[in-house]
Structure 1
Amino acid sequence: MYEVVFQCFETIVETSKNWDSETLIKAKGFISCLANFEVLVSFVVTKNCLRYLKQITVSLQQRSRDILSAYTEIQTVKSYLQDMRNEPEGYFEVMMEEAKYLAEGIGSEPSVPSQCKRQTLRNNTPATSVTEYYKRSVLIPFLDHLLNELNSRFSKHSQLVSQSLLLTPQVLVLSKTPDLPPGLQELSQMYKDDMPCIGSLTSEYHRWYKKWTSEDSPTDHKLPSTGIETLHACNGGFYPNIFALLKISCTPPVTTTEYERSFSSLKLLKTYLRSTMTSDRLNSLALMHIHRSTEIDKSAVIDQYATAYNSRMKLSTTDFLG
Structure 2
Amino acid sequence: MKNLFKVCVFSLISGALRGAQAIVRQSYPKALYVHCSSHCFNLALSDGCSVAEVRNCLGTIETVYNFFNFPKRQRVLEHEINKLEEKPKIEKLKRLCPTRWIQRHDAVNAFVSLLNPLINALFEISTWTDKKTATDAQLLSSAICQSSFLLCTFMVKYVFSLTLPLSKYLQTPNLDLSLALQSAENVNKSLTKMRQDDKKSFSDIYLETKRICDEFDITILQPRTTYRQINRNNVPGSSPEEYYRRAIYIPFLDQIIQAIDAKFLNHKNTLEPFQKLLCNNNSLDIKEVFNSTQQLLEFYELDDSGAMGEVILWVQFIKDKTEKPRSAIEALERCNKNLFPTIHKL
**What TM-score, normalized by structure 1, do the two folds share?**
0.52
Cα separation, 2, equivalents of 1:50 and 1:198: 48
Specify the alignment match of 2:89 in structure 1: none
Pick from 222, 225, 233 the counterpart of residue 112 of structure 1: 222
Cα separation, 2, equivalents of 1:158 and 1:17: 55
Cα separation, 1, equivalents of 2:172 and 2:274: 13
Distance 1:94 1:16, change over 3 A: closer
Contact 1:100–1:110 (CA under 8 A) maintained in structure 2: yes
Specify the alignment match of 2:182 in structure 1: 72
Cα separation, 2, equivalents of 1:162 and 1:64: 17
Pick from 183, 186, 195 the counterpart of residue 300 of structure 2: 195
Distance 1:64 1:38, change over 3 A: same
Contact 1:161–1:187 (CA under 8 A) maintained in structure 2: no
Cα separation, 2, equivalents of 1:17 and 1:38: 25
Distance 1:101 1:16, change over 3 A: closer
Specify the alignment match of 1:37 in structure 2: 147
Provide the alpha-carbon RMSD of the alignment.
4.1
Secondary structure of 2:158's aligned partner:
helix
Distance 1:12 1:35, change over 3 A: closer
Q: Is residue 25 from structure 1 mapped to residue 135 from structure 2 by the alignment?
A: yes
**What TM-score, normalized by structure 2, do the two folds share?**
0.49
Contact 1:45–1:138 (CA under 8 A) maintained in structure 2: no
User: How far apart are 1:68 and its partner, in Å?
Assistant: 4.8
Contact 1:198–1:241 (CA under 8 A) maintained in structure 2: no
User: How far apart are 1:48 and its partner, in Å?
Assistant: 1.1
Q: Is residue 98 from structure 1 mapped to residue 182 from structure 2 by the alignment?
A: no
User: How far apart are 1:114 and its partner, in Å?
Assistant: 1.6
Q: Which amino acid aligns with 1:91?
A: S
Q: Structure 2: any 5+ residue segments left out of the alignment?
A: 1-110, 281-288, 314-328, 330-340
Q: Which amino acid aligns with 1:31?
A: S
Cα separation, 2, equivalents of 1:98 and 1:37: 12
Contact 1:3–1:106 (CA under 8 A) maintained in structure 2: no
State, as a whole percentage, how many aligned pairs show the same letter: 20
Specify the alignment match of 1:297 in structure 2: none
User: How far apart are 1:152 and its partner, in Å?
Assistant: 1.1
Q: Is residue 50 from structure 1 mapped to residue 160 from structure 2 by the alignment?
A: yes
Q: Is residue 182 from structure 1 mapped to residue 279 from structure 2 by the alignment?
A: yes
Distance 1:92 1:21, change over 3 A: same
Specify the alignment match of 2:254 in structure 1: 144
Distance 1:103 1:25, change over 3 A: same
Which of these two proteins has the greater Rg computed from alpha carbons? 1
Distance 1:52 1:22, change over 3 A: same
Q: Is residue 158 from structure 1 mapped to residue 158 from structure 2 by the alignment?
A: no
Contact 1:41–1:99 (CA under 8 A) maintained in structure 2: yes
Cα separation, 2, equivalents of 1:46 and 1:123: 18
